[in-house]
């Protein structure tokens, strides 16, 4: 167990050594004992004392570990947070975990494994959920397939997952990574990657370059802090640790396309980033002689890159558009790119992250968000872990590859930077002496007729994707205050508003996705919350029926719908969702070479999530309130999961809802 500093002083070896040293000072026997016997007796004291102390401390540490695992496995605090049992539980955690500071991965081997739900509970929940968004005729088929699965393939597949759970850290993690992400053949742009737009302050800089230098420095410092485990783990209620495994893939990660399955490449020891400007690529060494570049040094290097790129014609060949293709097509094309530009491709794919020095200023947050999502064809290498984009007016944001980085984890990156960022109308990169550093290396592409033809096709595909996407950022005329006055959960309130809006537009109930965190468990990521219920369905029907005038019934149905959504989210957070369990059962059937059970080709399971939604929780509002931040700019978003669907991201900053 990697533990806090204080535990080094109570390690078995330390206590054993201290005990042995104390016994060494204790006189051995009487004066009549011969000196040889006295030495032997003293050695027995010393060895005995060391061994007894060593194994006693070992036993105590083992007991502490088992107690903490048990305490972290307890989820009753979420149901009854003010109960006496929850208070005693909280006190025991505080006593047993010891004092701060905690290392980044201090609690990783104490976090419980994700529980495997009961098969019948999962199937019953799925029937209850699916009934709301399929027709009566379709539901009869779904019910038939579920019951057949319950009596036949289900128990065998569930038993297989039980064995998998015993032998591995997670019965779900590898299935989810491969099945939900790496096996998908859709383009990463829109269908997988998401964007984050960072906050601004009212006294923002006139140029994006000083801010870029500052933020890049903080990103590099975060990478160093993760390596040295200096970032404290995330604790729910300052008590329960969340799994921090996502932090291991923040930097130096790239998704490599494959014909049938992608893979993840890790370059943890990388010491360079890639900078893009006007279509030109530059390799910038960001760690020299064991030290990362300071803001001043970064500013100087970025100035040189900008000057060099601006002195050249913009590169008209959209090399990055290759990563916007169907994954199998890109895998084929990449083999040729690797033959003709192997060193350059390796530089791009092994960088810690990419940054773009964009020479545009967008008229509003919607235009900027669209640019962060898709770029211009040449400036988003969608495979890389994340790309930070800096605009001329000081605004910035990121495009993030989703397969290893969930938005909750990347939100912590933004918070890390925001808390440390200090900039104003003056130059932020003047402090400290500057080293004499080598200039960034401009990367030269080798092009030929075949590569040019590839680029032409991938650019056309990029433009088609760009044309199909509508992206709008709006701020609501109210915040969570009015929702709380209605005695409704803000998240549930928003979800019901989305249900009503979709029903008004399409006259149908949407299969809706909302994530619940799975990070209470080892290697956990998310599970699906289904906001749709019999109450939400009745409520939207009542709200859109002009003949239905009973306001009290509408309020009652809304309250029940929100409570149902809140309970579902709580169940999913505690590991009692249904979608991930069903997904793992499907993957197990494929792994065992079985034909897919009919529950999976069924219309309910195959139906697209026409509403893909997510709220990004953040602590930035409480930290930055009153410091001039423009919270409307601090948003994130993602594309729809199907061509006729919606991807809706929302964030609440006090009375700001975007």
**What pLDDT is stored for residue 426 in this prediction?**
42
- pLDDT digit string (tens) for 149-178? 999 999 999 999 999 999 999 999 999 999
Residue 425: its pLDDT value, please? 40
Element (H, E) at 613: strand 611-615
Average pLDDT of span 634-642: 88
In this prediction, residue 635 carries a pLDDT of 81
User: Percentage of the chain with pLDDT > 90?
Assistant: 69
Q: How far is CA 94 from the centre of its chain?
A: 27
- DSSP line for 328-343: HHHHHHHHHHHHHSHH
183-208 mean pLDDT: 79
- Give yes or no for residue 200 having a pLDDT over 90: no
pLDDT digits (tens, 9 = 90+) for 59-73: 877 888 899 999 999
Q: What is the mean pLDDT of the chain?
A: 88
> Global pTM?
0.89
Q: What are phi and psi of 271, to 5 degrees?
A: -125, 25
Give CA–CA dist 636/412, Å, rounded: 13
Predicted confidence at residue 26, as pLDDT, reads: 59
Name the 3-class secondary structure at 635: strand
- Give me the residue label for tokens 């790129």: 309
Q: Which residues, in sequence order, are bridge partners of residue 178?
A: none
Confidence at 434, pLDDT banded by 50, 70, 90: confident
| pLDDT number for residue 81 | 87
Which listed CATH number (3.90.960.10, 3.30.210.10, 3.30.559.10, 3.40.718.10) goes with 119-168+474-615?
Answer: 3.30.559.10
DSSP sequence for 88-127: HHHHHHHHHH-SSPPPTTTTGGGSPPPPPPPHHHHHHHHH
Mean pLDDT for 84-104 is: 91
Q: Evaluate whether 119-168+474-615 and 184-468 have a shared fold.
A: yes
- The neighbouring-strand residues paired with 612 are 513, 647
CA distances to 213, 219, 299, 308, 449 from 207, in Å: 11, 19, 11, 17, 39
Residue 6 scores a pLDDT above 60: no
CB atoms within 10 A of CB 72: 20
Which architecture does CATH list for 184-468?
Answer: 2-Layer Sandwich (3.30)
CA–CA gap between residue 30 and residue 408 (Å, rounded): 68
pLDDT at 64: 85
The model's confidence at residue 8, banded by pLDDT at 50, 70 and 90, is low
Predicted pLDDT at 632: 54
Tokens of residue 232, six digits: 């404290």
Confidence (pLDDT) at 3: 45
Mean pLDDT calculated for residue range 644-656: 86
What are 355-375's pLDDT values in tens digits? 999 998 888 889 999 999 999
- What is the Cα–Cα distance from 652 to 658, expressed in whole angstroms? 7
Question: 439-453 burial string, b = 16+ CB within 10 Å, else e?
Answer: ebeebebeeeeebee
Name the active-site residue from 199, 354, 402, 581: 402
Cα(437)–Cα(285) distance, rounded to whole angstroms? 9
Q: For the residues 608-625, what does the mean pLDDT come to? A: 73
Question: What mean pLDDT comes out for the span 604-631?
Answer: 71
Active site residue 402: yes
Q: What is the DSSP string of 164-185?
A: HHHHSS-SSHHHHIIIIIIT--
Beta strands 280-285 and 441-443 are: antiparallel
**Tens digits of residue pLDDT in 295-322:** 889 999 999 999 999 999 998 889 999 9
Torsion of CA 185, 256, 522, 243, to 10 degrees: -110
Give the closest residue to 229 by CA, choosing from 3, 538, 523: 3
The span from the CA of 381 to the CA of 445, in Å, is 15
Pick the closest to residue 418 from 249, 568, 256, 627 (CA basis): 627
CA distance 589 to 595: 7
- Where does 300-437 show beta strands of DSSP type E? 354-357, 386-390, 396-400
Indicate the helix (H) or strand (E) that contains 239. Answer: none
| Average pLDDT of the residues in 533-537 | 96
Q: Residue 367 in contact with residue 400, Cβ under 8 Å?
A: no
Residue 585 pLDDT greater than 50, yes or no? yes
CB 358 within 8 A of CB 496: no
CB atoms within 10 A of CB 291: 11
Domains of the chain, residue spans: 5-99, 119-168+474-615, 184-468
Residue 512 near residue 529 (C-beta atoms within 8 A):
no
Q: How far is CA 163 from CA 169, 175, 278, 465, 584, in A?
A: 12, 15, 54, 43, 13
Q: What's residue 197's pLDDT?
A: 85
Asked whether the predicted pLDDT for residue 624 surpasses 70, the reply is no
What are the pLDDT digits (tens) for 442-493?
A: 999 999 999 999 999 999 999 999 999 999 988 888 877 888 888 889 999 9
């Amino acid at each position: 167990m990697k533990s806090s500093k204080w535990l080094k002083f109570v390690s078995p070896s330390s206590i054993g050594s201290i005990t042995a040293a104390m016994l060494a000072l204790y006189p051995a026997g009487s004066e009549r004992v011969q000196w040889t016997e006295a030495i032997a007796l003293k050695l027995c004291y010393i060895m005995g004392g060391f061994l007894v102390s060593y194994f006693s401390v070992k036993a105590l540490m083992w007991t502490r570990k088992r107690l903490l695992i048990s305490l972290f496995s307890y989820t009753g605090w979420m149901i009854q947070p003010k109960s006496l049992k929850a208070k005693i539980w909280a006190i025991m955690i505080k006593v047993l975990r010891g004092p701060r500071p905690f290392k980044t991965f201090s609690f990783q081997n104490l976090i419980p494994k994700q529980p495997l739900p009961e098969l019948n509970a999962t199937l019953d929940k799925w029937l209850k959920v699916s009934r709301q968004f399929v027709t009566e005729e379709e539901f009869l088929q779904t019910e038939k397939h579920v019951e057949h699965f319950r009596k036949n393939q289900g128990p065998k597949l569930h038993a297989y997952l039980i064995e998998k759970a015993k032998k591995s850290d997670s019965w779900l993690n590898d299935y989810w990574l491969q099945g939900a992400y790496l096996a998908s053949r859709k383009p990463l742009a829109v269908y997988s990657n998401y964007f984050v737009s960072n906050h601004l302050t009212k006294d923002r800089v006139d140029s994006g370059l000083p801010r870029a230098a500052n933020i890049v420095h903080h990103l590099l410092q975060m990478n160093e802090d993760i390596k040295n485990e200096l970032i404290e783990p995330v604790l729910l209620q300052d008590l329960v640790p969340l799994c921090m495994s996502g932090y291991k893939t923040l930097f130096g990660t790239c998704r490599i396309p494959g014909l049938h399955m992608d893979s993840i490449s890790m370059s943890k020891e990388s010491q360079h980033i890639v900078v893009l400007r006007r279509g030109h690529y530059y390799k910038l060494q960001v760690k020299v002689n064991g030290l990362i570049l300071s803001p001043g040094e970064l500013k100087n290097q970025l100035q040189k890159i900008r000057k060099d790129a601006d002195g050249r014609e913009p590169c008209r060949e959209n090399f990055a558009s290759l990563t916007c293709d169907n994954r199998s097509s890109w895998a084929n094309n990449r083999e040729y790119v690797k033959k003709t530009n192997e060193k350059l491709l390796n530089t791009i794919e092994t960088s810690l992250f990419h940054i773009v020095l964009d020479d545009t200023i967008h008229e509003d947050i919607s235009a900027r968000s669209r640019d962060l999502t898709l770029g211009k064809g040449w400036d988003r290498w969608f495979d890389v872990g994340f790309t930070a984009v800096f605009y001329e007016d000081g605004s910035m944001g990121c495009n993030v590859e989703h397969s290893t980085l969930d938005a909750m984890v990347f939100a912590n990156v933004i918070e890390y930077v925001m808390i440390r960022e200090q900039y104003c109308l003056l130059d932020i990169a003047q402090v400290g002496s500057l080293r004499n550093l080598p200039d960034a290396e401009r990367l030269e592409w080798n092009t030929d007729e075949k590569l040019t033809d590839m680029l032409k096709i991938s650019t056309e595909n990029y433009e088609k994707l760009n044309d199909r996407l509508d992206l709008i950022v709006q701020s609501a005329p109210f915040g969570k205050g009015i929702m709380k006055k209605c005695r409704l959960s803000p998240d549930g309130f928003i979800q019901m508003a989305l249900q009503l809006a979709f029903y008004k537009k399409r006259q149908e109930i949407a299969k809706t996705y909302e994530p619940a965190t799975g990070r209470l468990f080892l290697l956990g990521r998310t599970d699906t919350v289904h906001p749709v219920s019999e109450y939400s369905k009745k409520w939207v029907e009542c709200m859109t029926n002009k003949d239905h005038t009973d306001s009290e019934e509408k309020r009652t149905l809304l309250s029940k719908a929100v409570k149902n959504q809140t309970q579902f989210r709580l169940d999913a957070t505690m590991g009692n969702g249904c979608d991930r369990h069903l997904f793992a059962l499907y993957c197990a059937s494929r792994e065992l070479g079985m034909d897919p059970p009919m529950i999976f080709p069924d219309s309910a399971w195959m139906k697209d999530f026409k509403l893909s939604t997510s709220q990004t929780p953040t602590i930035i509002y409480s930290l930055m309130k009153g410091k001039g931040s423009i919270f409307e700019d601090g948003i994130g978003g993602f594309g729809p999961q199907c061509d006729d669907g919606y991807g809706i991201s929302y964030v609440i900053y006090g009375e700001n809802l975007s």
